[in-house]
């Protein structure tokens, strides 16, 4: 998932903790293991989740 805050001073909040344990931010070149298989395949195929102009 990708998100952009409208106010850079905002702090993201987990407003549905019963549905989501939370999230963490990682460098795209240093993702944790094990990785979701389809995501690994997309990245190995050259997928760029941060295209220029976003």
Could you tell me the pLDDT band of residue 1, with boundaries at 50, 70 and 90? low
Inter-residue contact 4 to 10 (CB < 8 Å): no
Residue with the bigger pLDDT between 2 and 31: it is: 31
Inter-residue contact 22 to 16 (CB < 8 Å): no
Give pLDDT, residue 53. Answer: 65
Give pLDDT, residue 29. Answer: 85
pLDDT tens-digit readout, 11-54 = 878 899 999 888 888 888 899 999 999 999 999 999 988 877 65
CA 33 to chain centre: 14
Cα first-last separation, the chain: 14
């Amino acid at each position: 998932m990708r998100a952009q805050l409208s106010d850079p001073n905002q702090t993201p909040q987990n407003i549905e903790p019963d549905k989501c344990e939370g999230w963490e931010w990682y460098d795209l070149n240093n993702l944790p293991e094990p990785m979701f298989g389809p995501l690994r395949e997309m990245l190995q195929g050259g997928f760029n989740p941060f295209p220029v102009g976003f």
